[in-house]
Amino acid sequence: MTTKSPEDRRRRRSVTLRDAADQFRRHPSPWMVGGMLVVAVAARLVVGDWQVTDVVLPMMMLALFPFAEWVIHVCILHWKPRTILGLTVDSLLARKHREHHVDPRDVPLVFIPWQTLMWLVPALAALSVLAFPRVGLGLTFLVALSALGVLYEWTHYLIHSDYKPKSRLYRAIWRNHRHHHYKNEHYWFTVTTTGTADRLLGTAPDPESVEKSPTARNLHAVR
């Protein structure tokens, strides 16, 4: 085991937002989600046809986003491998997330796998065009979803980086997610907020009342 020198420890404590952003942009997933956002914004401006629903829809999505995070985290990322009709069902997202729990400081594992985004981005683009009553509203959906995706990637990365919380809001979000990784993986499933979906769905207990889980670093003990 390598021991960090005092100089290394000082460097880790002195990470700035600029340092964090420089590391963030070195990974493919932020570029892929950010690229989807740029294209969606450009297309939305070209299409025009602004209506009240173009304001209502993003507001609804913002309100529901913590619950979407919770459901995805619980049902997809924490999926336990199962054998169905002789086949093992275990998605790339679930496998990568288990690796993320093993080593929460492994930066590439913090991000949505680029392999998933290779099919997810075009699928979301098709959904935005085909599943809404008008193209403009579908593009508004895609803009809002892309912006929330960038927010998620940045927040999740920042929590796992060496950047230290300075504001009360970010400190609460940072602490909430670190409880999930280092205290008990059965609670605190939201990433970009705290006290929202977890509180309403019963997964935000008093940390002092929760025992440390032996499988927080080894989900489902599948290794």
pLDDT digits (tens, 9 = 90+) for 111-140: 999 999 999 999 999 999 999 999 999 999
Angstrom CA distances, 65 to 33, 129, 142, 207, stand at 16, 21, 14, 24
Instruction: Give the pTM.
Output: 0.90
Instruction: Grade residue 2 by pLDDT with cuts at 50, 70 and 90.
Output: very low
Model pLDDT, residue 85: 87
Q: Give the pLDDT confidence of 43-68 residue by residue, as tens digits.
A: 999 999 999 999 999 999 999 999 99
Q: Give the pLDDT confidence of 143-202 residue by residue, as tens digits.
A: 999 999 999 999 999 999 999 988 999 999 999 999 999 999 999 999 999 989 999 999
Q: Tokens for 117, please give them.
A: 């985004």
Q: Which of 8-22, 35-49, 161-175 shows the lowest per-residue confidence on average (mean pLDDT)?
A: 8-22
Model pLDDT, residue 11: 45
Total Cβ atoms within 10 A of residue 90: 15
Q: Are 188 and 166 in contact (CB under 8 A)?
A: no
Model pLDDT, residue 122: 97
Q: DSSP class of residue 10?
A: H
Q: Does residue 103 surpass a pLDDT of 60? A: yes
Model pLDDT, residue 14: 74
Q: Are 171 and 165 in contact (CB under 8 A)?
A: yes
Model pLDDT, residue 1: 38
Model pLDDT, residue 222: 61
Model pLDDT, residue 4: 46
Instruction: Grade residue 9 by pLDDT with cuts at 50, 70 and 90.
Output: very low
